[in-house]
């Protein structure tokens, strides 16, 4: 039977206990309860794959997510289904990697979480036979996540900050039309009618923006031309030999451009799916930008590592609370934060719908409420560019 999936609300203290407790080990493989749980897990996961797909080739669901207090998870790896009963980690290679992960019980959110890249587990199949399974990459991540469920951890144990480390990804904002109203820009409805607010993962989105996608040298030049005012402001406020960080969820082509022009660059990207593409852009341009994965509200650097941090295409998608955290964090690791945001006059076709389009006055008020000093501001063609410091 297809069961309802229990969900966890991070803002509530009243969440299903079964999601947060260690599950009982299965010791009777023939019991009615065990058989029913196996059947329901299979049916429910089948239904999830039908509606959600299995893009990464690995997807799973655990018994407590459908209300059973039993240590078993159903996972589909490639096109093979495994019922992992009483799974146990028996070997790990010790190499951890950051994975972007979602969970059906936290359906709106994603998080960047560390898991072992390669593990071996033991488990019992539905007939009670003991087996082993070697797993790598996404498969390793998905199975470790399901095993976390069975000890009552949704993924919070792997996060430093329960709320701050979760993020709502662009692609899921649109699934049920549930962009929070405060994040609707004035053009949201209009763009939706035109079909501009589409569900797209970042690499698809960027490949749709740049026709000549395989020529990353031209792409870099083209983007640098379009973002000339932003680059000029960065260069104006950054001494020669200074270190610059680009904090971004898109391609880091501006970092590549700055690097070509003699700046020491790092780029921190928030969508790890973009990392491969960024590295190819770097390689074709023969540049040496260092890439890091991170979170805009918690950057993986110590205080004042950089002179300048810059962003575009991201701060306008954050609510007030996250915006404040992001700017504060940027100014912890750098002296000056330079960023570009679209305004209510923006008329391009690259909006995704979760942007908050605001005028200059509204941005200036917000920045002063956050006790930030505006060093320079420039408005051009539907964009605002700010350089700010801590007061
Ligand atoms: Zn999960």
pLDDT tens readout for residues 195-213 = 554 444 455 555 555 544 5
Cα-to-centroid distance, 115 and ligand 1 (Å): 14
Instruction: Say what the pLDDT of residue 89 is.
Output: 96
Cα-to-centroid distance, 150 and ligand 1 (Å): 10
Cα-to-centroid distance, 144 and ligand 1 (Å): 10
Cα-to-centroid distance, 60 and ligand 1 (Å): 7
Cα-to-centroid distance, 65 and ligand 1 (Å): 8
The region of weakest confidence among 148-162, 267-281, 295-309, 314-328 is 267-281
pLDDT level of residue 331 (50, 70, 90 thresholds): very high
Task: Give yes or no for residue 274 having a pLDDT over 90.
Answer: no
Contact at 8 Å (CB) between 163 and 10? yes
Instruction: Say what the pLDDT of residue 163 is.
Output: 67
Cα-to-centroid distance, 154 and ligand 1 (Å): 6
The CATH architecture that domain 17-167 belongs to is: Alpha-Beta Complex (3.90)
Mean pLDDT, the chain, rounded, equals 85
pLDDT level of residue 230 (50, 70, 90 thresholds): very high
The string of pLDDT tens digits covering residues 176-194 is 444 455 445 555 566 556 5
Query: Any idea what the Cα angle at residue 379 is, between residues 378 and 380, rounded to 5°?
Result: 120
**Nearest C-alpha neighbor of 81 from the set 56, 61, 105:** 61
Mean pLDDT of 209-225: 74
Cα-to-centroid distance, 106 and ligand 1 (Å): 7
Whole-angstrom Cα Rg for the chain: 23
Cα-to-centroid distance, 206 and ligand 1 (Å): 29
Instruction: Say what the pLDDT of residue 214 is.
Output: 67
The region of weakest confidence among 13-27, 83-97, 188-202 is 188-202
Q: How long, in residues, is the chain?
A: 391
Instruction: Say what the pLDDT of residue 56 is.
Output: 80
**Nearest C-alpha neighbor of 67 from the set 155, 6, 146:** 6
Cα-to-centroid distance, 313 and ligand 1 (Å): 29
Cα-to-centroid distance, 239 and ligand 1 (Å): 47
Instruction: Say what the pLDDT of residue 211 is.
Output: 45
Mean pLDDT of 243-267: 88
Cα-to-centroid distance, 145 and ligand 1 (Å): 6
Cα-to-centroid distance, 93 and ligand 1 (Å): 23
Instruction: Say what the pLDDT of residue 313 is.
Output: 84
Long-range contacts of 206-214 (CB under 8 A, 24+ apart): 206/250, 206/251, 206/274, 206/277, 209/350
H or E stretch covering 311? strand 306-312
Cα-to-centroid distance, 159 and ligand 1 (Å): 14
**Which residues make beta-bridge pairs with 66?**
none
Report domain extents, the chain: 17-167, 177-390
**Nearest C-alpha neighbor of 356 from the set 165, 174, 181, 110:** 181
Task: Give yes or no for residue 84 having a pLDDT over 50.
Answer: yes
The string of pLDDT tens digits covering residues 147-171 is 999 999 998 888 877 766 776 665 4
Burial class (CB in 10 A: 0-12, 13-18, 19+), 140: buried
Cα-to-centroid distance, 146 and ligand 1 (Å): 6
Q: What does the alpha-carbon distance between residue 334 and residue 327 come to, in Å, rounded to a whole number?
A: 10
Cα-to-centroid distance, 298 and ligand 1 (Å): 23
Cα-to-centroid distance, 142 and ligand 1 (Å): 8
Cα-to-centroid distance, 248 and ligand 1 (Å): 27
Cα-to-centroid distance, 378 and ligand 1 (Å): 45
Cα-to-centroid distance, 251 and ligand 1 (Å): 29
Instruction: Say what the pLDDT of residue 363 is.
Output: 94
Residues lining ion ligand 1 (Cβ < 5 A) are: 103
Cα-to-centroid distance, 301 and ligand 1 (Å): 29
Instruction: Say what the pLDDT of residue 98 is.
Output: 79
H or E stretch covering 340? strand 334-342
Q: What does the alpha-carbon distance between residue 61 and residue 145 come to, in Å, rounded to a whole number?
A: 9
Helix segments in the chain, DSSP class H: 32-52, 137-150, 170-173, 188-193, 202-209, 216-226, 228-237, 253-260, 275-284, 320-333, 360-369
- Cα 293 to its chain centre, rounded Å, is 10
Contact at 8 Å (CB) between 18 and 67? yes
Task: Give yes or no for residue 146 having a pLDDT over 90.
Answer: yes
pLDDT level of residue 357 (50, 70, 90 thresholds): confident
Cα-to-centroid distance, 100 and ligand 1 (Å): 12
The region of weakest confidence among 63-77, 176-190, 240-254, 372-386 is 176-190
Task: Give yes or no for residue 141 having a pLDDT over 90.
Answer: yes
pLDDT level of residue 377 (50, 70, 90 thresholds): very high
Cα-to-centroid distance, 296 and ligand 1 (Å): 23
The string of pLDDT tens digits covering residues 91-128 is 998 788 878 888 999 877 778 788 999 999 999 999 99
**Which residues make beta-bridge pairs with 61?**
74
Instruction: Say what the pLDDT of residue 107 is.
Output: 73
CATH code for the domain defined by 177-390 = 3.40.50.150
Cα-to-centroid distance, 324 and ligand 1 (Å): 29
Task: Give yes or no for residue 175 having a pLDDT over 50.
Answer: no
Cα-to-centroid distance, 217 and ligand 1 (Å): 40
* Between 336 and 220, the higher pLDDT residue: 336
Instruction: Say what the pLDDT of residue 200 is.
Output: 46
Cα-to-centroid distance, 103 and ligand 1 (Å): 4
Burial class (CB in 10 A: 0-12, 13-18, 19+), 198: middle
Tokens standing for residue 354 = 């979760």
Q: Express as a percent the part of the chain with pLDDT over 90.
A: 53
């Amino acid at each position: 039977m297809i069961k309802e999936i229990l969900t966890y609300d991070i803002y509530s203290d009243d969440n299903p206990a079964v999601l947060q407790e260690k599950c009982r080990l299965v010791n009777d493989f023939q019991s009615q309860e065990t058989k029913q749980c196996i059947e329901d897990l299979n049916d429910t996961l089948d239904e999830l794959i039908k509606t959600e797909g299995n893009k990464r080739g690995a997807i799973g669901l655990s018994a407590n997510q459908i209300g059973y207090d039993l240590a078993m998870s159903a996972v589909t790896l490639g096109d093979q289904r495994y019922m992992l009963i009483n799974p146990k980690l028996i070997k790990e290679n010790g190499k951890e990697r950051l994975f972007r992960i979602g969970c059906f019980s936290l359906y709106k959110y994603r998080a960047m979480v560390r898991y072992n890249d390669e593990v071996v587990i033991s488990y019992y199949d539905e007939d009670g036979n003991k087996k082993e399974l070697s797993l790598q990459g996404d498969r390793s991540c998905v199975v470790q996540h399901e095993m976390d469920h069975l000890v009552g951890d949704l993924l919070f144990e792997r996060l430093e900050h329960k709320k701050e480390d979760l993020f709502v990804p662009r692609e899921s904002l649109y699934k049920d039309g549930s962009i929070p109203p405060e994040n609707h820009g004035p053009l949201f409805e209009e763009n939706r009618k035109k079909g501009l607010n589409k569900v797209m993962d970042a690499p698809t989105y960027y490949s749709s923006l740049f026709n000549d996608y395989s020529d990353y040298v031209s792409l870099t030049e083209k983007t640098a031309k379009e973002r000339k005012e932003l680059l000029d402001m960065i260069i104006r406020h950054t001494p020669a030999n200074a270190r610059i960080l680009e904090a971004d969820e898109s391609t880091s082509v501006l970092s590549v451009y700055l690097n070509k022009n003699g700046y020491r660059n790092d780029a921190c990207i928030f969508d790890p799916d973009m990392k491969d593409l960024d590295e190819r852009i770097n390689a074709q341009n023969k540049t040496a930008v260092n890439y890091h994965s991170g979170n805009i509200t918690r950057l993986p650097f110590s205080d004042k590592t950089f002179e300048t941090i810059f962003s575009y295409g991201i701060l306008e998608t954050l609510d007030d609370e996250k915006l404040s955290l992001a700017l504060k964090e940027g100014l912890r690791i750098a002296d000056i934060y330079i960023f570009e945001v679209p305004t209510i006059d923006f008329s391009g076709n690259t909006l995704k719908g979760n942007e908050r389009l605001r005028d200059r006055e509204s941005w200036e008020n917000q920045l002063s409420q956050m006790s930030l000093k505006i060093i320079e501001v420039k408005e051009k063609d539907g964009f605002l560019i700010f350089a700010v410091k801590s007061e």
